[in-house]
Structure 1
Amino acid sequence: MGGILNGVKIVDLSRILAGPYATQMLADLGAEVVKVEAPWGDDTRQWGPPFTSGFDGQKVAAYFLSCNRGKEIVNFNLKNDAEEVRSLIDTADVVVENFRPGTLKKLLGPMPKNVIVCSISAYGATGPRKDEPGYDVALQARSGIMGITGEPDSSPVKVGVAWIDVITGLNAGNAILAALLHKEKTGEAMSIDISLWDCAIAALVNQAHNAIASGVNPIPMGSSHPNLVPYRAFEASDGWFVIGVGSDRQWNNLADLLSLNNPKEWESNEGRVLHRLEVEECVSAAVSLRTRSELEQMLVGIPCAPVNTVLEALSDPQSIARGAVTSHKGVDVLASPLRFMTPQKENKEV
């Protein structure tokens, strides 16, 4: 694994997913991460089944393993052991915490001025909701992402993983790296205020901008795209298969390969969006006659894929070639997705 952040020490006071995910990424980059857990452990240790053997050989929920590799774990009760935790923080470059705003100071007092503090909360340190709690599912509901996910006219559907927690963890990692660079340049240790809310709203990207520009609320569209056609899952003879056309050139290639009707009004993406139903029915009819394997072989150069299960994705030849699953202390875990290219080694995993 990489040593880019060798010499950086992080005290991780966070729990669940967003904070631990951020610190795991930094540990993958070589930082020393000391995770402080309550005597009863992180909540996710019990978030099973399934349960399996952990990095210490003890029974633990598989969930916990997804965001806690590469860390030294110590147990303290912050209310009773504040002095010990404060001594640990005095040796750190970064502290990551996800208490409600203001709680860390109440528990441990002011943080040292030379330590970067990354505070992760549901709604941030300011605003009318700053004291409200929030798990990922509640943020998915309030942020609007649940309002555009799923099939039309169906009950609300959340993204299949804790999407907002993961995005927040990635944003927190980026912010910490920027703060470390700022401290190296100026000597100033910054405080970082990261919220699940801000990250969720920012991650609405094109859907939010569509709403801003049009004044119209986006709606759930299943696997379809509001701005591109055809761009969705179609039912092949042996399962579901996704085709994602992102340009007129790709559309023309698809029409040729599947021998599709291609009237002039379908030649531009705007025309295909305006004639969405007819275009999708045309593609659907052609796809239904073929297996997923046949379609993959036919549609070379067209963004497409079978709708896989998780185990199918993990065993895909590309996952195997890229080492998507690795081992840490004898436990199978998802590998860091970061690959750094060097002159000496073409593809170096960090």
Structure 2
Amino acid sequence: MAIDISKPQGQALIRRLAEKADVVLENFKFGGLAKLGLGPEDLLTLNPRLVYCSITGFGQTGPYRNRAGYDFLMQGMGGLMSVTGAPEGEPMKAGVAVVDVFTGLYASNAVMAALLERERSGLGQHIDLALFDVQIAAMANQISSYLVSGAQPPRLGNAHPSIVPYQVFPTLDGHLILAIGNDEQFARFVTLAGAPELSQDERFATNPARVKHRAILVPLLEALLAARTTKDWTEALEAFGIPGGPINEFADIDADPQVQARGIFKTLGRACAVSRARCASRGQRSRMTAHRRIWALTQTKSWPRCWRFPKQSAPLCATIRSSHKEKARLSNRPGFGLTSLDQHRPSPIFDPEPLVFSCSVRRAFAEGEACRGHAPFTEQGKYADDPKSKHAGGLALRA
């Protein structure tokens, strides 16, 4: 739903929702919600069991707390760009907004930990999460190395500061990642490449020696790897148990047999949501057909609360327990107004998990009024405007 929190009615609605909520996630600038009476102190007073997670650029404390935060800025200020890029080139950012992604993962972990702690203490808490903090924490071994030695790690392009060879090499038709993790793997690789004497050379026999003599070894390996195609090398490395692989473009990923076997990409028809078990299985993510209607994202085994707003399409979240065939049949009935329906093949493992979908009704309702339905769909399910419905004029369907 969309709520205008600049108006008193919207603020009151947020407070009503917070009274029974488990988690609030917000990413307004520092102090923005507190000015509206919706800050952590305000909502935790209403609901002491609430877990309130604030995500900002620089956190709730410190001299930068009033600044806006952007992923690119955080990659620079948090040190990632100082170790990313070619040695003689300019500092580079990552190709995706990694700080935003990492912060979301940190937030989910923090919220789950807070919910677990609440089971013991009975109290919620305010989680103060900053993009800046997350980026620094994500520097992992690079920043721990600095803290131990006081030395700034250099930019090495695609090379690793403490493992050799562990980088990208040119091949006959492209590039290959070679990720040698130990001395035994190095010996197998140089044997495969036709230069077994390199593993006997004291300059290259151990990883510390290879790191020290990186500038000598890398050109030798470049000459060896440039003699064959990326595909040839990938197959040969796999056969010899040596870590390595191609640099895939998105089309390569889409066609990769491992991606297909894992079911990573799923194309859905006008689907808005699937059962909790099915969504969580095998890490699937969905390609969804663009649709302007409201998605029903709740997982509920009873009728959800539906908020009505004047002159807007109000969402109806419904739970269907009938078969997939019956769901498809019901979706084609005149008057149901379905905007989306799960088109997954039935799963004998997860059926009959409820299928959540959304339909939309354009009506003028009293502002802030709430309704709750009481019955699941059946073969005799009626549209909300049916005068024989238990809640005529509302959003409930009757059996």
TM-score class normalised by the smaller sequence: 0.7 to 0.9
Q: Distance in 2 between matches of 1:174 and 1:325?
A: 25
Q: Does 1:97 align with 2:26?
A: yes
Calculate the aligned-residue CA RMSD, in Å: 2.2
> What residue in structure 1 maps to residue 236 of structure 2?
298
Contact 1:152/1:222 (8 A) holds in 2: yes
Q: Distance in 2 between matches of 1:147 and 1:314?
A: 32
Residues 88-145 of structure 1, C-alpha deviations (whole Å, 9 max, x = no match)? 2222100001112222222233013221101111111111111111110000011110
Structural mapping, 1:5-16, within 5 Å: none
Q: Distance in 2 between matches of 1:90 and 1:182?
A: 19
Structural mapping, 1:1-350, within 5 Å: 74-80=1-7, 81-109=10-38, 110-111=42-43, 112-260=47-195, 261-262=198-199, 263-300=201-238, 301-327=241-267, 330=270, 339=282
Instruction: Give structure 1 stretches of 5+ with no counterpart.
Output: 1-73, 346-350
2:192 aligned partner, one-letter code: L
Instruction: Give structure 2 stretches of 5+ with no counterpart.
Output: 284-347, 350-399
Could you say what secondary structure the match of 1:299 adopts? helix
Could you say what secondary structure the match of 1:326 adopts? strand
Residue 103 to residue 328, structure 1, CA distance change in 2 (3 Å): farther
| Larger relative contact order (Cα-Cα within 8 Å, sequence gap ≥ 6) | 1
Kindly state the Cα deviation for residue 170 of structure 1 after the two structures are TM-superposed: 0.3
Residues 247-291 of structure 1, C-alpha deviations (whole Å, 9 max, x = no match)? 111111111111233312211110000010111111111110000
Kindly state the Cα deviation for residue 337 of structure 1 after the two structures are TM-superposed: 8.2
Residues 208-238 of structure 1, C-alpha deviations (whole Å, 9 max, x = no match)? 1222222221122111000100000000011
2:2 aligned partner, one-letter code: N
Q: Distance in 2 between matches of 1:169 and 1:290?
A: 41
Contact 1:122/1:133 (8 A) holds in 2: yes
Which structure is larger by alpha-carbon Rg, 1 or 2?
Answer: 2
Residues 269-328 of structure 1, C-alpha deviations (whole Å, 9 max, x = no match)? 100000101111111111100001110111121111111112212321111110111245
Contact 1:95/1:116 (8 A) holds in 2: yes
Q: Distance in 2 between matches of 1:77 and 1:219?
A: 49
Q: Distance in 2 between matches of 1:267 and 1:252?
A: 8
Kindly state the Cα deviation for residue 331 of structure 1 after the two structures are TM-superposed: 6.8
Q: Distance in 2 between matches of 1:134 and 1:122?
A: 4
Q: Distance in 2 between matches of 1:336 and 1:175?
A: 22
Residue 201 to residue 233, structure 1, CA distance change in 2 (3 Å): same
Contact 1:242/1:304 (8 A) holds in 2: yes
Matched residue pairs, number? Answer: 268
2:224 aligned partner, one-letter code: A
Q: Distance in 1 between matches of 2:281 and 2:104?
A: 15
> What residue in structure 2 maps to residue 65 of structure 1?
none
Could you say what secondary structure the match of 2:33 adopts? helix
1:101 aligned partner, one-letter code: F
Residue 242 to residue 332, structure 1, CA distance change in 2 (3 Å): farther
Kindly state the Cα deviation for residue 156 of structure 1 after the two structures are TM-superposed: 2.5
Q: Distance in 2 between matches of 1:328 and 1:91?
A: 33
TM-score (norm 2): 0.64
